[in-house]
A and B are shown apart, each in its own frame.
Chain A
Amino acid sequence: AQTVTQSQPEMSVQEAETVTLSCTYDTSESDYYLFWYKQPPSRQMILVIRQEAYKQQNATENRFSVNFQKAAKSFSLKISDSQLGDAAMYFCAYRTAYSGAGSYQLTFGKGTKLSVIP
């Protein structure tokens, strides 16, 4: 079974600064997908960024980028130019790419609560 570990329960960043959230995972599969979800106080689950394991290039979405290290099984999220609206809980998640798995359920980490200081 796959596991996802987020070792930072809480983090804070000054507005306009850069912050990196850590995520490690354990799997025996070679092909899979990784996601970062944002959950603001409204409780919505918002997809921030996604990465395909077989792609070497790190994914980027505007101010959000990832550092994907497949051999180290590490998938960190970097938020540049932090804004007050970035304050939220962030979840790292894993999903198999194997079509015979039966479903595409997500395995989540426990989350990192990010505070943004004005």
Chain B
Amino acid sequence: NAGVTQTPKFRVLKTGQSMTLLCAQDMNHEYMYWYRQDPGMGLRLIHYSVGEGTTAKGEVPDGYNVSRLKKQNFLLGLESAAPSQTSVYFCASNHRQASDFQPQHFGDGTRLSIL
């Protein structure tokens, strides 16, 4: 009963390095999201996807890119990491139907530190 799985759970990067965070869900959800959580800021939406091959910007998209090549996976990339991107990153997913208010299912988060 995996749900939403995020890889890796922790990572330390140097400024300017690149990396990709992987989110995988096994619930056949259409919608997937990437949020970042900073102290005193709550969770803010970075990018989201409403289906395979489609992505869109959220509230704080600068410095990130995403891809959804397969329905079950949603990748978040940092091309040139900056200290301001030090954060905890959460992936979430839910079904598309609006008639039932599908709650979002969250992964356990990735703690990313940029030195």
List chain A positions with a Cβ less than 8 A from chain B: 4, 6, 9, 33, 35, 42-45, 47, 50, 52, 91, 95, 97-99, 102-111
Contact = CB atoms under 8 A, between A and B. Distances in A.
Interface string B62-97: 000000000000000000000000001010101000
A42 B107 CA distance: 12
Given A52-B101, A105-B33, A108-B42, A43 B108 contact: yes
A107 B48 CA distance: 13
Nearest to A111: B42
Contact of A47 (B41, B90, B103): B103
Given A104-B102, A110-B40, 7 more contacts: A45-B92, A45-B106, A97-B98, A102-B50, A103-B33, A103-B56, A104-B31
Interface band, chain B? 20 to 34
Summarize A's interface: helix, strand, loop or mixed: loop
Contact of A104 (B35, B94, B108, B109): B94
A4 to B, nearest CB: 8
Contacts of A33: 101
B43 interface: yes
A51 to B, nearest CB: 9
Given A50-B101, A110-B40, A110-B42, A44 B50 contact: no
